[in-house]
Amino acid sequence: MKVVQAMIILLLLAFPYSYFAMFMQYEVDTILGYIISLLILVGVTIWAARQRQFIVFIAGCVLTFVISYAYAGRAHADEWQTMFFSLDPAQFSIAVSAVFIIIASVLFYFLKAKKRSSYYSSRW
């Protein structure tokens, strides 16, 4: 069961969240994509932290970074050139992915299951 959960967490984290958010901003002209991506990423991070899936979490974060960069670098690069401030789509994808990964990493650190305190600290 733990292997199945690890695979589901990895697949959910490997989704190109920053590319999805950029696509939503370009097509619909709304920041709803960033909010949806962040909420899903936070939910999956909470699940991974509760299941103590650190290696899977790191692998998923790397995959979402690489996949988002690959999609943003080749698809719609000419059309999106002036859409995201003064950055090209690949650079903006790197920035958004980095922000998402930092938020998820901090959340994972604070939510991971703590080991019980030792016998000596519980005596006092």
- The pLDDT of residue 96 is 86
- The pLDDT of residue 39 is 92
- The pLDDT of residue 69 is 85
For residue 116, give both structure tokens: 């019980």
DSSP string across 83-105: TSTTS-HHHHHHHHHHHHHHHHH
DSSP reduced 3-state for 41? helix
* CA separation, residue 34 to residues 16, 55, 110, 122 (Å): 12, 25, 23, 44
For residues 102 and 96, give the distance between their C-alpha atoms in angstroms, rounded to a whole number: 10
For residues 16 and 20, give the distance between their C-alpha atoms in angstroms, rounded to a whole number: 6
**Is residue 77 within 8 Å of residue 24, measured between CB atoms?**
no
- The pLDDT of residue 70 is 86
**Measured in whole angstroms, how far is the alpha carbon of residue 92 from the centre of its chain?**
15
Per-residue pLDDT of the chain (124 residues; tens, 9 = 90+): 788 988 998 898 888 888 888 888 888 888 888 899 889 989 998 888 888 888 998 998 899 889 888 887 775 656 766 676 677 777 888 888 888 889 888 988 888 756 555 555 555 5
Nearest C-alpha neighbor of 70 from the set 16, 12, 21: 16
**Is residue 33 within 8 Å of residue 84, measured between CB atoms?**
no
